[in-house]
């Protein structure tokens, strides 16, 4: 929608019991890298390319959030097949972020349903 203002992106997300800080920075990385995540003993942070907007920002933000979720709920040493940081993780995260944006974009009633269901439970 031309002329529609992008909602303000939050600076912090709550993921499990952690606050994940989000920064918008000029990324000095390969051209196709729009976001990164860092996992350290004291927490997880996300950096997003400052020039992103619209669906690219939304999809990249979700992508990095899914990495944070994986690291919060699947710590190193897990016995599951998906290991944090491996290529398989990247493929899954990318597919889920891209797919979820498409599903919500093409099914706004479903997005509204999900939102209202979660809000009702809180």
Averaged pLDDT, 63-85: 72
Q: Establish if 1 belongs to a structural domain.
A: no
Averaged pLDDT, 5-17: 85
Q: Establish if 89 belongs to a structural domain.
A: yes
pLDDT of residue 79: 44
Angle between helices 87-106 and 54-73 (to 10 degrees): 130
Domain around 49 = 12-121
CA angle, corner 106, sides to 102 and 112, nearest 5? 100
First to last CA, the chain: 32
Q: How many residues does the chain have?
A: 122
* pLDDT, mean over the chain: 82
Residue-wise pLDDT tens digits, 78-97: 645 555 567 788 888 889 99
Asked if residues 64 and 94 have their Cβ atoms less than 8 Å apart, the reply is no
1 pLDDT tier (thresholds 50, 70, 90):
very low
Structural domains counted in the chain: 1
Neighbours of 89 (CB within 10 A): 17
């Amino acid at each position: 929608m031309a002329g529609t203002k992008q909602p303000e992106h939050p600076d912090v997300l709550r993921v499990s019991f952690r606050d994940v800080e989000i920064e918008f920075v000029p990324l000095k990385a390969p051209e196709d890298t729009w976001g990164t995540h860092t996992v350290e003993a004291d927490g997880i942070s996300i950096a997003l390319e400052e020039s992103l907007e619209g669906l690219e920002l939304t999809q990249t933000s979700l992508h990095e959030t899914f990495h944070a979720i994986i690291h919060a709920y699947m710590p190193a040493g897990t016995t599951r097949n998906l290991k944090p940081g491996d290529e398989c993780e990247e493929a899954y995260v990318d597919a889920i972020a891209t797919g979820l944006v498409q599903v919500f974009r093409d099914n706004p009633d479903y997005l509204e349903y999900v939102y209202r269901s979660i809000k009702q439970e809180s």
